[in-house]
Structure 1
Amino acid sequence: MRSKRDYAIRDEATVRLSVFAVSDIKFFLESAPDTVMSGESYEIMARLANGGNATLAVVVSARSTSKYPVTFLSEEELTLSPGESAPVALLVQTPSKLAKSARHIVILEASSKEDPSVRTSLSVATEVLSQKAEIDLYHRIPTTLTHSHCAPWEKETETTQTASTWNLRARERSKKEDASALSFSFAVPTRRTRGFTAKGTNII
């Protein structure tokens, strides 16, 4: 700096500023199936981002809780500039013979080559359905079938007119406690009325 009146009067100073490196990496899940059938393979798509202010060389690894074969479809060693991200893709092969359905978890891990304490991980869970499991294709509702029979006396004809009724009723409550009912009534022919009559009540 110098004086405005006399330029010969001047002085200077040196200021040193140190900017510390901040290292931060993080995984983001992009896609993975919720369920797969046993014997099928599936892909996991993720992204690794460098949220720090320094360039990082990182190593990516993966492990399976059930020891299913895991193959990398992307590079396992990456160099990320500040703010840069890169895709991480895996292929998981499930066993064809699975006694019962199981929850499979793949754990992705990434760490810095220079500083192993700079690391991140991501867990991805997928339900593997056994092909041996029995699946009921029908929705079953408890029902009640009742039968009533009567033979009233007719004074005019001095005969009896038989009547018979079948009632089929079903009722089920959902998880939200909303009642759903289904009922039907059937009447068989009598001497006075020929034919078959039936009436039904829709689900309410």
Structure 2
Amino acid sequence: MLLLAAPAQAAPRTEVAGGEPAKATVSPAEIAANNAAVWASLPPNVTMTVLGKLPELQGPIHHYTQNGTTTTTGANILAVATLPFQFTFSGVYSMDGRDFRSTQTKICKDIKAEWDYPEESYHQFKVSLRGAPVTVPTDGVARSYCWSGVPTNTTMNFYYYSTNNSAGDIAKASGNGQVRYP
């Protein structure tokens, strides 16, 4: 007797008050698969730790939106940021984050992200620092990525982007976290 497994299917969507679709709950198996895929794809100078929930955030807050300016709470928006700082982003598909300077050669980014609207699996959300991109699963689970070999006293920023956007099919993500030293 031959048994075939049925393909995994997404949880059914329901509507929340206001008629908007509710986000499906992410299963532990999907989170484990996301973690395995990220670990397999990390650049050699980057590590990832699964946090689950974000730690207590520190520093000024920087708010990023795709079509608006970056706003800052508790810091001079024109000055290059120092670490640590918090960030939020909404509706992002391709943008630079806040300029900052590091005094250490290792920088960590704690981040949690979700798609603004449920998107197909061919989209990925990524964050890059100095040409070393990492995939940030959009499952609402916080992870910490740490880049080593970062130059000191150099102005730099993180670049946020979604992949495989074409013909008006643009995946937008929102989330939050912090940039800090280990």
TM-score, scaled relative to structure 1: 0.28
- Largest Rg, 1 or 2: 1
TM-score by length of 2: 0.30
Judging by fraction of residues, say which structure has more helix.
Answer: 2
Of structures 1 and 2, the one with the larger relative CO (CA 8 A, separation 6+) is 2
